Amino acid sequence: MKIAFIGLGNMGAPMALNLLKNGHTLNVFDLSAQAVNTLVDAGALAAPSPKAAASDVECVITMLPAAAHVRSVLSDTDGVLAGIADGVPIVDSSTIDPASAQAFAELARANGNAFADAPVSGGTAGATAGTLTFMVGASVPLYESLRPILAAMGKNIVHCGPTGMGQVAKICNNLLLGITMTGVAEAMSLGVALGIDPKTLAGIINTSTGRCWSADTYNPYPGVVPGAPASRGYSGGFGTDLMLKDLGLATSAAHGVRQPVFLGALAQELYQAMSTSGHGRLDFSAIIKLYERELEPQHKGDQ
Ligand code: NAD
Protein backbone atom coordinates (compact mmCIF):
# COMPACT_ATOMS: atom_id res chain seq x y z
CA MET A 1 0.00 0.00 0.00
CA LYS A 2 1.21 3.57 -0.63
CA ILE A 3 1.26 5.55 2.62
CA ALA A 4 2.26 9.11 3.62
CA PHE A 5 4.16 9.25 6.93
CA ILE A 6 4.62 12.67 8.54
CA GLY A 7 6.76 13.15 11.69
CA LEU A 8 9.93 11.06 11.68
CA GLY A 9 11.23 11.56 15.23
CA ASN A 10 12.22 9.07 17.93
CA MET A 11 8.98 7.14 17.38
CA GLY A 12 7.96 8.02 13.81
CA ALA A 13 11.25 7.01 12.16
CA PRO A 14 11.31 3.40 13.42
CA MET A 15 7.56 3.06 12.79
CA ALA A 16 8.01 4.23 9.18
CA LEU A 17 10.98 1.87 8.75
CA ASN A 18 8.76 -1.03 9.82
CA LEU A 19 6.17 -0.07 7.19
CA LEU A 20 8.91 -0.18 4.54
CA LYS A 21 10.16 -3.55 5.85
CA ASN A 22 6.62 -4.90 5.51
CA GLY A 23 6.47 -4.00 1.82
CA HIS A 24 4.61 -0.67 1.94
CA THR A 25 5.69 2.30 -0.21
CA LEU A 26 6.18 5.58 1.65
CA ASN A 27 6.04 9.32 0.97
CA VAL A 28 7.67 11.00 3.99
CA PHE A 29 7.79 14.54 5.37
CA ASP A 30 9.47 16.08 8.44
CA LEU A 31 10.85 19.55 9.20
CA SER A 32 14.21 17.88 9.91
CA ALA A 33 16.13 17.08 6.71
CA GLN A 34 18.26 14.60 8.66
CA ALA A 35 15.17 12.67 9.75
CA VAL A 36 13.92 12.58 6.14
CA ASN A 37 17.31 11.41 4.80
CA THR A 38 17.33 8.38 7.10
CA LEU A 39 14.03 7.24 5.59
CA VAL A 40 15.07 8.08 2.02
CA ASP A 41 18.19 5.93 2.51
CA ALA A 42 15.85 3.08 3.46
CA GLY A 43 13.75 3.50 0.29
CA ALA A 44 11.11 6.17 1.09
CA LEU A 45 10.34 9.11 -1.20
CA ALA A 46 10.85 12.61 0.29
CA ALA A 47 7.92 15.00 -0.20
CA PRO A 48 8.33 18.80 -0.10
CA SER A 49 5.20 19.36 2.05
CA PRO A 50 2.48 17.43 3.89
CA LYS A 51 0.17 18.35 0.97
CA ALA A 52 2.51 16.75 -1.55
CA ALA A 53 3.10 13.71 0.70
CA ALA A 54 -0.65 13.08 0.93
CA SER A 55 -1.51 13.66 -2.72
CA ASP A 56 -1.10 10.16 -4.19
CA VAL A 57 -1.48 7.75 -1.25
CA GLU A 58 -4.06 5.36 0.20
CA CYS A 59 -3.48 6.30 3.86
CA VAL A 60 -1.84 9.17 5.82
CA ILE A 61 -0.14 8.63 9.19
CA THR A 62 1.07 11.45 11.47
CA MET A 63 3.40 11.07 14.49
CA LEU A 64 4.01 14.57 15.86
CA PRO A 65 4.84 16.10 19.26
CA ALA A 66 1.51 17.72 20.19
CA ALA A 67 -1.94 18.83 18.95
CA ALA A 68 -0.70 22.19 17.58
CA HIS A 69 1.68 20.35 15.24
CA VAL A 70 -1.07 17.99 14.07
CA ARG A 71 -3.40 20.92 13.39
CA SER A 72 -0.76 22.68 11.31
CA VAL A 73 0.20 19.53 9.36
CA LEU A 74 -3.46 18.85 8.59
CA SER A 75 -4.87 22.28 7.86
CA ASP A 76 -2.13 24.69 6.75
CA THR A 77 -2.33 25.78 3.11
CA ASP A 78 0.30 23.17 2.22
CA GLY A 79 -1.21 20.69 4.69
CA VAL A 80 -2.55 17.16 4.29
CA LEU A 81 -6.18 18.20 3.78
CA ALA A 82 -5.20 20.36 0.79
CA GLY A 83 -3.66 17.41 -1.04
CA ILE A 84 -5.43 14.24 0.04
CA ALA A 85 -7.98 12.50 -2.23
CA ASP A 86 -11.56 11.91 -1.06
CA GLY A 87 -12.01 8.79 1.04
CA VAL A 88 -8.34 8.34 2.02
CA PRO A 89 -8.13 7.75 5.80
CA ILE A 90 -5.91 9.77 8.18
CA VAL A 91 -4.38 8.14 11.29
CA ASP A 92 -2.82 10.28 14.01
CA SER A 93 -0.56 8.35 16.38
CA SER A 94 0.68 11.38 18.37
CA THR A 95 -0.41 11.64 22.01
CA ILE A 96 -2.84 14.58 22.11
CA ASP A 97 -6.02 15.47 24.00
CA PRO A 98 -9.22 13.60 23.10
CA ALA A 99 -11.10 16.84 22.26
CA SER A 100 -8.48 17.83 19.66
CA ALA A 101 -8.65 14.33 18.12
CA GLN A 102 -12.43 14.73 17.83
CA ALA A 103 -12.03 18.20 16.30
CA PHE A 104 -9.53 16.85 13.74
CA ALA A 105 -11.99 14.06 12.87
CA GLU A 106 -14.61 16.75 12.14
CA LEU A 107 -12.16 18.70 9.94
CA ALA A 108 -11.27 15.51 8.06
CA ARG A 109 -14.92 14.50 7.70
CA ALA A 110 -15.78 17.90 6.21
CA ASN A 111 -12.97 17.29 3.70
CA GLY A 112 -14.31 13.84 2.76
CA ASN A 113 -11.83 11.80 4.85
CA ALA A 114 -12.14 9.46 7.83
CA PHE A 115 -9.85 10.10 10.81
CA ALA A 116 -8.66 7.73 13.54
CA ASP A 117 -6.71 8.53 16.69
CA ALA A 118 -4.23 5.70 17.27
CA PRO A 119 -1.73 6.66 19.99
CA VAL A 120 0.81 4.05 20.99
CA SER A 121 2.58 2.61 23.98
CA GLY A 122 5.79 0.60 24.00
CA GLY A 123 8.31 3.41 23.64
CA THR A 124 11.17 3.65 21.17
CA ALA A 125 12.15 0.01 21.80
CA GLY A 126 8.63 -1.15 20.87
CA ALA A 127 8.61 1.15 17.83
CA THR A 128 11.89 -0.39 16.61
CA ALA A 129 10.82 -3.96 17.31
CA GLY A 130 7.38 -3.45 15.73
CA THR A 131 5.68 -4.48 18.97
CA LEU A 132 3.77 -1.29 19.83
CA THR A 133 0.29 -1.31 21.30
CA PHE A 134 -2.07 0.87 19.26
CA MET A 135 -5.11 2.32 21.07
CA VAL A 136 -7.53 3.10 18.27
CA GLY A 137 -10.45 5.52 18.37
CA ALA A 138 -12.49 5.02 15.19
CA SER A 139 -15.67 3.54 13.76
CA VAL A 140 -15.54 -0.26 13.58
CA PRO A 141 -15.22 -0.39 9.75
CA LEU A 142 -12.40 2.18 9.81
CA TYR A 143 -10.64 0.27 12.59
CA GLU A 144 -10.94 -2.97 10.60
CA SER A 145 -9.54 -1.35 7.47
CA LEU A 146 -6.56 0.13 9.37
CA ARG A 147 -5.68 -3.01 11.34
CA PRO A 148 -3.39 -4.57 8.69
CA ILE A 149 -1.42 -1.31 8.32
CA LEU A 150 -1.00 -0.84 12.07
CA ALA A 151 -0.05 -4.52 12.45
CA ALA A 152 3.13 -3.76 10.47
CA MET A 153 4.20 -1.51 13.38
CA GLY A 154 2.62 -3.12 16.43
CA LYS A 155 1.46 -6.38 17.93
CA ASN A 156 -1.60 -5.26 19.93
CA ILE A 157 -4.10 -3.27 17.89
CA VAL A 158 -6.96 -2.45 20.27
CA HIS A 159 -10.25 -0.80 19.35
CA CYS A 160 -11.06 1.54 22.26
CA GLY A 161 -14.29 3.04 20.91
CA PRO A 162 -15.24 6.00 18.69
CA THR A 163 -12.87 8.88 17.80
CA GLY A 164 -11.02 10.24 20.83
CA MET A 165 -11.22 7.02 22.87
CA GLY A 166 -7.72 5.94 21.81
CA GLN A 167 -6.42 9.15 23.37
CA VAL A 168 -8.56 8.61 26.48
CA ALA A 169 -6.95 5.17 26.96
CA LYS A 170 -3.47 6.59 26.32
CA ILE A 171 -3.66 9.55 28.71
CA CYS A 172 -5.19 7.41 31.48
CA ASN A 173 -2.36 4.87 31.10
CA ASN A 174 0.27 7.61 31.19
CA LEU A 175 -1.40 9.28 34.17
CA LEU A 176 -0.93 6.01 36.04
CA LEU A 177 2.62 5.55 34.70
CA GLY A 178 3.66 9.03 35.88
CA ILE A 179 2.25 8.26 39.33
CA THR A 180 3.74 4.76 39.67
CA MET A 181 7.20 5.97 38.60
CA THR A 182 7.10 8.63 41.31
CA GLY A 183 5.96 6.03 43.85
CA VAL A 184 8.75 3.61 42.94
CA ALA A 185 11.31 6.45 43.07
CA GLU A 186 10.07 7.38 46.56
CA ALA A 187 10.14 3.80 47.88
CA MET A 188 13.56 3.00 46.39
CA SER A 189 15.04 6.23 47.77
CA LEU A 190 13.62 5.61 51.24
CA GLY A 191 14.91 2.03 51.28
CA VAL A 192 18.42 3.07 50.29
CA ALA A 193 18.39 5.93 52.84
CA LEU A 194 17.48 3.35 55.50
CA GLY A 195 20.37 1.15 54.43
CA ILE A 196 19.00 -1.66 52.20
CA ASP A 197 20.79 -2.66 48.98
CA PRO A 198 18.75 -1.27 46.02
CA LYS A 199 18.81 -4.54 44.05
CA THR A 200 17.63 -6.48 47.11
CA LEU A 201 14.80 -4.00 47.64
CA ALA A 202 13.79 -4.10 43.96
CA GLY A 203 13.83 -7.91 44.09
CA ILE A 204 11.44 -7.86 47.06
CA ILE A 205 9.12 -5.27 45.47
CA ASN A 206 9.06 -7.23 42.21
CA THR A 207 7.88 -10.41 43.93
CA SER A 208 5.54 -8.57 46.31
CA THR A 209 2.48 -6.38 46.15
CA GLY A 210 4.36 -3.23 45.09
CA ARG A 211 5.32 -4.82 41.78
CA CYS A 212 4.64 -2.74 38.65
CA TRP A 213 6.28 -1.92 35.28
CA SER A 214 8.01 1.13 36.79
CA ALA A 215 9.67 -1.19 39.34
CA ASP A 216 10.40 -4.39 37.42
CA THR A 217 11.15 -3.19 33.88
CA TYR A 218 12.10 0.48 34.18
CA ASN A 219 13.35 0.84 37.76
CA PRO A 220 14.50 4.46 38.34
CA TYR A 221 17.37 3.46 40.66
CA PRO A 222 20.68 3.27 38.70
CA GLY A 223 22.07 -0.23 38.14
CA VAL A 224 18.94 -2.16 39.20
CA VAL A 225 17.71 -2.91 35.63
CA PRO A 226 20.72 -2.96 33.27
CA GLY A 227 18.81 -1.90 30.11
CA ALA A 228 16.75 0.85 31.74
CA PRO A 229 17.52 4.57 31.18
CA ALA A 230 18.46 4.87 34.90
CA SER A 231 21.48 2.65 34.14
CA ARG A 232 22.72 4.95 31.34
CA GLY A 233 22.39 8.40 32.91
CA TYR A 234 18.65 8.69 32.07
CA SER A 235 19.41 9.20 28.36
CA GLY A 236 16.97 8.11 25.61
CA GLY A 237 13.64 6.58 26.62
CA PHE A 238 10.59 8.75 27.30
CA GLY A 239 11.45 12.37 28.05
CA THR A 240 10.39 14.13 31.28
CA ASP A 241 8.86 16.92 29.17
CA LEU A 242 6.74 14.40 27.22
CA MET A 243 5.51 12.87 30.50
CA LEU A 244 4.76 16.38 31.74
CA LYS A 245 2.78 17.03 28.54
CA ASP A 246 0.77 13.81 29.02
CA LEU A 247 0.01 14.59 32.69
CA GLY A 248 -1.17 18.02 31.54
CA LEU A 249 -3.46 16.35 28.98
CA ALA A 250 -4.87 14.04 31.67
CA THR A 251 -5.41 16.73 34.31
CA SER A 252 -7.00 19.16 31.89
CA ALA A 253 -9.29 16.45 30.43
CA ALA A 254 -10.21 15.58 34.05
CA HIS A 255 -10.95 19.24 34.74
CA GLY A 256 -13.29 19.31 31.73
CA VAL A 257 -15.48 16.57 33.24
CA ARG A 258 -15.01 17.71 36.88
CA GLN A 259 -13.28 14.44 37.78
CA PRO A 260 -10.68 14.69 40.59
CA VAL A 261 -7.12 13.52 39.85
CA PHE A 262 -5.38 14.11 43.19
CA LEU A 263 -2.26 12.05 42.57
CA GLY A 264 -2.02 13.03 38.90
CA ALA A 265 -1.99 16.73 39.82
CA LEU A 266 0.75 16.10 42.39
CA ALA A 267 2.79 14.03 39.91
CA GLN A 268 2.39 16.84 37.36
CA GLU A 269 3.92 19.31 39.86
CA LEU A 270 6.86 16.97 40.49
CA TYR A 271 7.63 16.51 36.77
CA GLN A 272 7.19 20.27 36.32
CA ALA A 273 9.84 20.81 39.02
CA MET A 274 12.18 18.45 37.15
CA SER A 275 11.59 20.28 33.90
CA THR A 276 12.03 23.72 35.46
CA SER A 277 15.35 22.65 36.97
CA GLY A 278 16.65 21.82 33.49
CA HIS A 279 16.03 18.05 33.40
CA GLY A 280 13.18 18.07 30.85
CA ARG A 281 15.14 16.09 28.26
CA LEU A 282 16.15 13.32 30.65
CA ASP A 283 14.06 10.14 30.74
CA PHE A 284 11.08 10.56 33.06
CA SER A 285 12.49 7.99 35.56
CA ALA A 286 15.01 10.73 36.47
CA ILE A 287 12.18 11.94 38.76
CA ILE A 288 14.16 10.00 41.40
CA LYS A 289 16.63 12.91 41.42
CA LEU A 290 14.06 14.89 43.43
CA TYR A 291 14.70 12.42 46.26
CA GLU A 292 18.50 12.84 46.36
CA ARG A 293 19.57 14.07 49.79
CA GLU A 294 22.30 16.58 50.56
CA LEU A 295 24.14 14.66 53.30
CA GLU A 296 25.95 16.47 56.13
CA PRO A 297 29.77 16.07 55.86
CA GLN A 298 30.01 13.98 59.07
CA HIS A 299 27.13 11.80 57.78
CA LYS A 300 29.03 11.24 54.50
CA GLY A 301 32.08 10.23 56.54
CA ASP A 302 29.98 7.57 58.27
CA GLN A 303 29.37 5.73 55.00
P1 NAD B 1 10.05 13.61 18.57
O2 NAD B 1 10.12 14.99 19.11
O3 NAD B 1 11.23 12.72 18.63
O4 NAD B 1 9.56 13.64 17.02
C5 NAD B 1 8.64 14.52 16.49
C6 NAD B 1 9.00 14.77 15.03
O7 NAD B 1 7.99 15.62 14.47
C8 NAD B 1 10.34 15.48 14.84
O9 NAD B 1 11.13 14.76 13.90
C10 NAD B 1 9.95 16.86 14.32
O11 NAD B 1 10.89 17.42 13.42
C12 NAD B 1 8.64 16.54 13.62
N13 NAD B 1 7.78 17.70 13.42
C14 NAD B 1 7.42 18.65 14.32
N15 NAD B 1 6.59 19.54 13.75
C16 NAD B 1 6.44 19.15 12.47
C17 NAD B 1 5.70 19.66 11.36
N18 NAD B 1 4.97 20.77 11.48
N19 NAD B 1 5.78 19.00 10.19
C20 NAD B 1 6.53 17.87 10.08
N21 NAD B 1 7.25 17.34 11.08
C22 NAD B 1 7.21 17.98 12.25
O23 NAD B 1 8.81 12.95 19.33
P24 NAD B 1 8.53 11.37 19.53
O25 NAD B 1 9.24 10.88 20.73
O26 NAD B 1 8.68 10.69 18.20
O27 NAD B 1 6.97 11.43 19.94
C28 NAD B 1 5.95 11.69 18.98
C29 NAD B 1 4.61 11.51 19.69
O30 NAD B 1 4.51 10.19 20.23
C31 NAD B 1 4.41 12.48 20.89
O32 NAD B 1 3.08 12.90 20.90
C33 NAD B 1 4.74 11.59 22.10
O34 NAD B 1 4.04 12.02 23.28
C35 NAD B 1 4.24 10.24 21.63
N36 NAD B 1 4.91 9.08 22.24
C37 NAD B 1 6.26 9.07 22.46
C38 NAD B 1 6.84 7.95 23.04
C39 NAD B 1 8.34 7.88 23.30
O40 NAD B 1 8.77 6.96 24.01
N41 NAD B 1 9.13 8.80 22.77
C42 NAD B 1 6.06 6.83 23.37
C43 NAD B 1 4.70 6.87 23.11
C44 NAD B 1 4.12 7.99 22.53
Q: How far is the CA of 71 from the centre of ligand 1 (A)?
A: 14
Closest atom of ligand 1 relative to the 7 alpha carbon: 7
Count of CA atoms in the C-beta half-sphere (13 A) of 137: 27
Residue 121: name the closest of 213, 29, 225, 44 by CA: 213
CB of 30 closer than 6 A to ligand 1? yes
Ligand 1 pocket: which of 34, 51, 64 to mutate (most atoms <8 Å of CB)? Answer: 64
Residue 2 is among the residues annotated as catalytic for this protein:
no
Q: Which architecture does CATH list for 2-162?
A: 3-Layer(aba) Sandwich (3.40)
Instruction: For residue 183, count CB atoms less than 10 angstroms from its CB and return exposed for 0-12, middle for 13-18, buried for 19 or more.
Output: middle
What are the backbone dihedrals phi and psi of residue 273, each rounded to the nearest 5 degrees, phi first? -65, -40
The pLDDT, as a whole number, for residue 237 is 85
CATH match of 168-291 with 1.10.1040.10 = yes
Handedness of CA 57, 29, 90, 177 (dihedral sign): positive
Q: How far is the CA of 134 from the centre of ligand 1 (A)?
A: 16
The ranges assigned to domains in the chain are 2-162, 168-291
200 to 188, 205, 227, 285: CA distances (angstroms)? 10, 9, 18, 19
Strands (E), the chain: 2-6, 25-29, 45-46, 59-62, 90-92, 115-117, 120-121, 132-137, 154-161
The pLDDT, as a whole number, for residue 298 is 52
CB of 7 closer than 6 A to ligand 1? yes
Q: How far is the CA of 13 from the centre of ligand 1 (A)?
A: 9
Partnered with residue 25 across adjacent β-strands are 2
Q: With a cut of 70, which residues of the chain have pLDDT below it?
A: 295-303
**What number of residues does the chain have?**
303
Full-model pTM:
0.92
Residue 93: name the closest of 170, 159, 38 by CA: 170
Q: How far is the CA of 10 from the centre of ligand 1 (A)?
A: 7
Cα of 67 vs its chain's centroid, Å? 13
The pLDDT, as a whole number, for residue 303 is 45
CB of 31 closer than 6 A to ligand 1? yes
d(CA 225, CA 106): 45
The pLDDT, as a whole number, for residue 293 is 83
Instruction: For residue 78, count CB atoms less than 10 angstroms from its CB and return exposed for 0-12, middle for 13-18, buried for 19 or more.
Output: middle
Ligand 1 pocket: which of 94, 132, 242 to mutate (most atoms <8 Å of CB)? Answer: 242
CB of 123 closer than 6 A to ligand 1? yes
